[in-house]
Structure 1
């Protein structure tokens, strides 16, 4: 679980990705925040409970700064499932940040006041976020008391439900992530975008952690530092290249009499399990669409 948590944070911690997410989800794609204006913030804070000190940790947090002045602290939280207590968690993170500002004053440091913003990135694609979206929704509040209970809204970004025109505004690798979950929501099939990946391993590891599809993780392990690929070439071709090597080593899958190589057959079947469109499979493997359809039927993978 700890390894999975770390994996989910690595891509979003890049300044270009972090700035891109905030600019698109909050500012409709305007480049309000530049990556050079972001500085790492400590994700951990401490609180006291039952006489003992406990730690709580955000997923990713950065300061937005201009001329060394802090404008805001912005946090991102990843959720693959809706969580009923999320408003309580977020107010805990935000409250700790404000307490840190207050403590800085008491230590004689220059008085600093800046707002704190937390965005919850929800990657579920089968249902909308169906849990509490505000602090008040976490409680059964007696009616006479309700006007006096302060509320605290939760800012949930439902990634899979972002409009196509919004996804098109992303300029970082998060565009590929959002596109994957959007496609899976629509028909549970995936036709990779041709865009080049900047942070290859981190993007694939994030997709693997959030989707539960280990093929992304496996392909990420084979990427060398500095290599550049598109989602299609890494997520499909590189996986199958390793599959071909393993298959040849074991002497498996010789292919059909028509001369279709064993590796190509594996590529086609793997793409079929991902429910890629037949014409996209044909284009990627330079195979007639009719042949793809035939393989799908014979393999029991037709759709």
Structure 2
């Protein structure tokens, strides 16, 4: 008997999903530029996501080892910037600190590149490329964590307005208007997730809802009933998944089988 396939991990499925430049450009255009087509797939190039570095503080150097989910260099009007996407399924109460360190490490790497070039080119000048980190939150609960560094602090009145802050651009995908997305896979993923969180078990809710197999797998990794959805997807041999039809067929097979052992065998076959 085959072993059940482990539930897909959201970190891996979402990294793979937004590795496609058209999807990345589309979601960033919506959340950063109000849906204006500022970025296109041709203006993007994937960057190394390794943020590992060493902060040398005199006698106490500190090593930092981490990887971003997605990091892309973009060109806007001939000027370069770096945009990162971090994917969150659960609320992370220290995420302002985490993204702050990620961005600081990116700037540190740029400075190290400048020092290396300076050895060979005495005319080299330090010019940092700006970095924007966007956190996409996919959880069912409303985001209740801090959004900035100052949200994590208690400040005396005299220091307010003086402290430097670090804003974490947290986007709750439940609140996005998916109709503004131009990439069908992006739209299907966001709308599908929003629908699952509202679903009360009525199949009519998913009537005529079709999405690519690739997108359905990502959706399966995000929802609480993902194991059942993944079994449905594995059963389908088509590249386009009809959500309503597939869920209905799965239910009918379960209902038609009375023996618990047979039900277990059926589930393993998906």
TM-score tier after normalising by the smaller chain length: 0.7 to 0.9
* Residue-by-residue CA offset, 1:93-122 (whole Å, 9 max, x unaligned): 111111222222111176553211111111
Q: 2:179 aligns with which of 168, 185, 199?
A: 168
TM-score (norm 2): 0.74
Equivalent in 125, 129, 137 of residue 114 of structure 1:
129
Alpha-carbon separation, structure 1, partners of 2:170 and 2:245: 30
Structure 1 residue corresponding to 2:67, chosen from 53, 57, 67: 57
1:135 deviates by 0.9
2:251 pairs with 1:236: no
Among residues 91, 97, 102, which one is paired with 2:106 in the alignment? 97
Of residues 168, 178, 197 in structure 1, which corresponds to 2:190? 178
| Matched length | 243
C-alpha deviation, 1:144, in angstroms: 3.4
Q: 2:229 aligns with which of 202, 216, 234?
A: 216
| Cα deviation, residue 75, structure 1 | 0.9
Deviation for aligned residue 1:60? 1.4
Deviations 1:154-179 (A, max 9, x none): 111111122xxx21122321211211
SS in 1 for 2:103: helix
Q: CA RMSD in A?
A: 3.6
Rounded to whole Å, the distance in 1 between the matches of 2:186 and 2:21 is 12
Match of 1:150 among 161, 164, 185: 164
Rounded to whole Å, the distance in 2 between the matches of 1:186 and 1:27 is 28
Which SS does the other structure have where 2:180 is aligned? Answer: coil
Unmatched 5+ stretches in structure 1: 254-262, 264-303
For 2:104 and 2:211, the matched residues in 1 are separated by: 36
Asked if structure 2 preserves the Cα contact closer than 8 Å seen for 1:125 and 1:161, the reply is: no
Whether 1:38 and 2:44 are equivalent positions in the alignment is: yes
Q: Is contact 1:192–1:232 with CA below 8 Å preserved after alignment?
A: yes
The TM-score with structure 1 as length reference comes to 0.67
Would the aligned equivalents of 1:24 and 1:30 in 2 still touch at CA under 8 Å? yes
Greater relative CO, 1 or 2 (CA 8 Å, sep 6+): 2
